[in-house]
Amino acid sequence: MKKIFLFASFLATLLPNLVAQDQHFTQFYASPQMLNPALTGAFEGRYRVSAIYRDQWRKVLDEPIRTFAVAGDLRFDPPGKTTTNDAIGLGLSFFNDKVNVVDFSTTQIAISLAYHKALDVDARQFLTLGVQGGLTQRNINYASLNFQDEFNGSTGYELPTGEVLPANNFAYPDLNVGLNYSARFGRSGALFAGVALHHIIEPDISFYRQGVEGEKLFRKISGHLSANIPLGSTRASLLPRVLYSQQGPHAQVNVGTNFRTAIGKYGSSALHLGGWVRPVRNNDGFGIDAVVALVGFEVSNVVFGISYDINPRALGFSQRQGAFEISVAYLGEYENEEILCPKF
């Protein structure tokens, strides 16, 4: 009965009139290609491999909602390069978002390309244009669901259903574009600012009434701003981050700061401690969606991040919905510390 109630709510809100929002990560800088395709190749090294995992509603559902993403990107010189500091970024990303209680999943694979244009001879400023194309598949397993007319009156749900259901999977193309500006100031300070437009073609994403107006994925516009502010020395710094995104009638802001301090005699490792808040605007008004705590570690070329969201509005005090995230990234051929790169 719990599955039937949850599925009925899911079906009523998601399938018949599906103008949905995207998946999102609290550690948005740990999934840069999903944040902005212009961040493809924006890192200190020649290649990067990263992964991030999120689950939520663990205290409410027997199986939490899980989101997983993995990505890889390269940074290399443009063909025919002579004396310029320009670079090209090429990336491949994959994500899967799954609602286990109704066995509903969204899977995407995307390719990103970015051109990093140096704005000065010292490579202290870059302006980047990035594009991303992807293919997304949505799937629901009807065999995992029970309907009222399947109940035989005594022992269980064994009768055939008379429900008319659409095809249980379909795919659609997607297109995103973004700009990013990065600048270095002083010895180790840095500033990053970007804007991205996602779902330019507003693809149909409903299982029902394909092609009908109103059954599309809203375009999403997002802007992000971050900085690396040294605190007296290169061993400690503040890393403020702001992300604003709007998609149809929905909007959210992620705002917070990480404190980074180097560890060890030579500072080859570092510790991050951060606090964040996420206000959102939905159909029911404006409010705080989550308060977040984050801890991160840098060990040589590897960056780890762990965060936990607490939703102050959801259900009752004893059933606060939390979302747990863990991320890891490896930077290969880490050879140029002057390349600008936001972390977390």
Average pLDDT in the chain: 82
Task: Find all residues with CB under 8 Å of 7, minimum gap 6, and list them.
Answer: 101, 102, 145
Higher per-residue confidence, 119 vs 344: 119
Q: How confident is the model at residue 129 (pLDDT cuts 50, 70, 90)?
A: very high
Closest by alpha carbon to 224, among 252, 257, 198, 196? Answer: 196
CATH code of residue 78: 2.40.160.40
Q: Residue 143, SS3?
A: helix
340 within some domain: no
Phi, psi of 131 (to 5 degrees): -130, 155
Higher per-residue confidence, 8 vs 94: 94
Total number of domains in the chain: 1
Cβ proximity of 294 and 272 under 8 Å: yes
Distance CA 304, CA 328 (A): 5
Q: Is residue 340 over pLDDT 70?
A: no
249 within some domain: yes
210 within some domain: yes
Phi, psi of 53 (to 5 degrees): -130, 140
Question: What is the longest distance spanned by two Cα atoms in the chain?
Answer: 80
342 within some domain: no
Beta pairing class for 322-332 and 285-299: unpaired
DSSP state at residue 205: -
Closest by alpha carbon to 88, among 50, 126, 125? Answer: 126
Maximum average pLDDT range among 134-138, 167-171, 207-211, 316-320: 134-138
- At 149 the pLDDT is 77
Mean pLDDT value of segment 243-263: 92
Distance CA 9, CA 134 (A): 29
DSSP state at residue 218: P
pTM comes to: 0.84
Rg of the Cα atoms in the chain: 22
- Dump the DSSP string for 32-73: HHHH-GGGTT-SSSSEEEEEEEEEE-TTTSSS-EEEEEEEEE
Domain of 294 in residue numbering reads as: 2-332
Q: CB pairs under 8 A, 24+ apart, for 162-170?
A: 166/207, 166/208, 167/207, 168/139, 168/140, 168/141, 168/142, 168/207, 169/137, 169/138, 169/139, 169/140, 170/137, 170/138, 170/207, 170/210
DSSP state at residue 1: -
339 within some domain: no
292 within some domain: yes
344 within some domain: no
> What percent of the chain has pLDDT above 70?
82
- At 286 the pLDDT is 77
- At 320 the pLDDT is 53
Distance CA 78, CA 81 (A): 6
Mean pLDDT value of segment 98-125: 89
- At 209 the pLDDT is 59
**153 burial level (CB within 10 Å; 0-12, 13-18, 19+):** exposed
**128 burial level (CB within 10 Å; 0-12, 13-18, 19+):** buried
Distance CA 32, CA 71 (A): 9
DSSP state at residue 15: S
Q: Is residue 3 over pLDDT 60?
A: no
Residue appearing with tokens 């929905």: 250
112 within some domain: yes
Buried b (16+ CB within 10 A) or exposed e, 34-72: bbbbbbbbbbbbebbebbbebbbbeebbeebbbbbbbbb
Distances (CA, A) of 293 to 27, 30, 214: 11, 15, 37
Higher per-residue confidence, 322 vs 316: 322
